[in-house]
């Protein structure tokens, strides 16, 4: 079985996330979505306005038909080393240092890396801007 892995916060869950999961699921037989725990969000982004806690975000993601398993993560570049997977799918806007280190680790450990373009016209940033106006 070919396992696909992707990471994210998935707080302002939207159509772009749904398309990410749908497209990611096509690279294997089993899609694992790692959702970041609350403590780490606030540690790296102290001013983040998070709508839902980890449990709620995990439940939302778990209900999406393309997702086979939801797991918790703290830091992508550390936690990726502990997960059994074959393909690492990265969203087009995920470019921070942790993702870069995770991609490097994948390449050194014979894991396929796929970077998907973001869905046009939708993002968590756009949603936040509309809500917080």
| Active-site residue set | 43, 45
- Name 7's bridge partners: 34
For 37-116, where are the E strands, in sequence order? 69-73, 87-91, 112-116
End-to-end CA distance of the chain: 46
CA atoms within 13 A on the CB side of 16: 20
Which contiguous run of DSSP H or E holds residue 4?
strand 3-8
Structural contact between residues 111 and 86, judged by C-beta atoms closer than 8 angstroms: yes
């Amino acid at each position: 079985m070919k396992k696909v892995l992707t990471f994210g916060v998935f707080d302002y869950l939207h159509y772009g996330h749904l398309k990410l999961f749908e497209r990611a699921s096509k690279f294997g037989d089993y899609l694992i979505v790692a959702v970041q725990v609350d403590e780490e969000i606030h540690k790296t982004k102290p001013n983040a306005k998070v709508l839902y806690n980890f449990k709620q975000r995990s439940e939302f993601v778990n209900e999406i038909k393309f997702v086979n398993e939801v797991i918790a993560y703290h830091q992508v570049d550390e936690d990726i080393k502990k997960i059994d997977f074959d393909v690492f799918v990265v969203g087009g806007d995920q470019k921070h240092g942790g993702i870069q280190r995770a991609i490097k680790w994948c390449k050194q450990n014979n894991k396929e890396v796929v970077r998907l373009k973001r869905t046009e016209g939708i993002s968590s940033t756009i949603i936040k801007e509309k809500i917080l106006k």
